[in-house]
Amino acid sequence: MKIITKTKELKNILGSINNLSESIGLVLTMGNIHAGHLSLIKEAQNNNKLVITSIFINPTQFDNDDDYKSYPKTLDQDIVKLKSSNCDLLYLPTVHEIYPKGLVIEKSTLKYRNILCDGHRPDHFDGVTTVVNTFFDIIKPKNSYFGEKDYQQMKLIDEMVKIKKIDVNVVSCLSIRDKNGMSLSSRNSNFTQKQSEIFESLAKKIKLLVKTLKKNNLKANFNQFKKELSKININKIDYLEIRDEKNLEITSNHHHARLFIAVFIDKIRIIDNFKLY
C-alpha cells in the first residue's frame, strides 16, 4: 500500500496510470478505521481496479474546537488495518494540502436541509460537502463509497454531485452493525465503561422499539420512549423521527421509511437509522 501525503504527488501518480481513472474507487474516512470502513473498501475492491482510502479529520465539519481535537486518532493501527485489507493507496493529506488558502466552506446544496442533523449542526454539512468536493476534484474517482449510518450526509453528497455535474457514482452501502444492532462508529471508541453500559441499554431499547414499529406499523409514542431513555441517563435528544428514506420527509407510512435517531451519552453524540420495512 502506497502512502501519499502530498496532493501533487498523488496527482502525478494518478496521471501516470493510463485510463485507470475510469475505475478508481474512493473511500473517504476520518480514521479510527473499523469494520464499517473495511466493508466499504471491500465493496470498492469488488468493482474497481484501484482503491484509494483517505484519512483526513476535516476541521470545517466540527461544531467546536474541543470536539475536533478530541476526535479519536489511531493512525498507526489504521495503517496496519488498511494494509491488511489490501488497499492500494492511502491518501493522508495535511489541513494545508486540502485548504491551501485557509479554511473555507461552500453552501452547495439546499435540499435535505434544516432537518435531522442539519437542524442541530447548521454548518456541519457545508463542511462535509466542501471537503468531499475537494477530494473528488483531486482524485476524480469513478465510484465513491459511503455507509448508510450517515444517511442524511450520503443524500447531501449525492445531491451535490448532481448539482455540480460531477462524474462520480455515490455508492450507498449498508451499515455494519455491532452485535447489539447499532451501527459501528469511530466515536464509540471514546466510551468509558459506564458509557458503554448505557450504550448497550440504549441498543436494547431501540431494538425493541424498531421491532414494535415493524410489527404493527404503529405511530410511535416517542414521548414514552424518551422517558425510557431518561431512565438510563440519556437526557439530551436531538431527534427521534420516522422519515421517508427517499425524500427525508416525515411520514406515518413505514413503507420505505426509517427511524432516525440522534442522542447523547454525556458529550458523545450517537446517530443511527433503522429500516422499518
Quote the CA–CA distance of 273 and 153 in Å, as a whole number.
12
Quote the CA–CA distance of 161 and 126 in Å, as a whole number.
14
Q: Return the sign of the alpha-carbon dihedral for residues 24, 90, 179, 185.
A: negative
Which residue in 37, 120, 254, 256 is the catalytic one? Answer: 37
Quote the CA–CA distance of 79 and 186 in Å, as a whole number.
15
Quote the CA–CA distance of 51 and 121 in Å, as a whole number.
31
Quote the CA–CA distance of 257 and 235 in Å, as a whole number.
25
- Helix H, strand E, coil C: the string for 138-177 is HHCCCEEEEEHHHHHHHHHHHHHHHHHCCCCEEEEECCCE
Active site residue 96: no
How many residues are listed for the chain in this entry? Answer: 277
Instruction: Phi first, then psi: give them for residue 49, nearest 5 degrees.
Output: -80, -30
Quote the CA–CA distance of 20 and 49 in Å, as a whole number.
7
Quote the CA–CA distance of 235 and 265 in Å, as a whole number.
8
Mind telling me the catalytic residues?
37
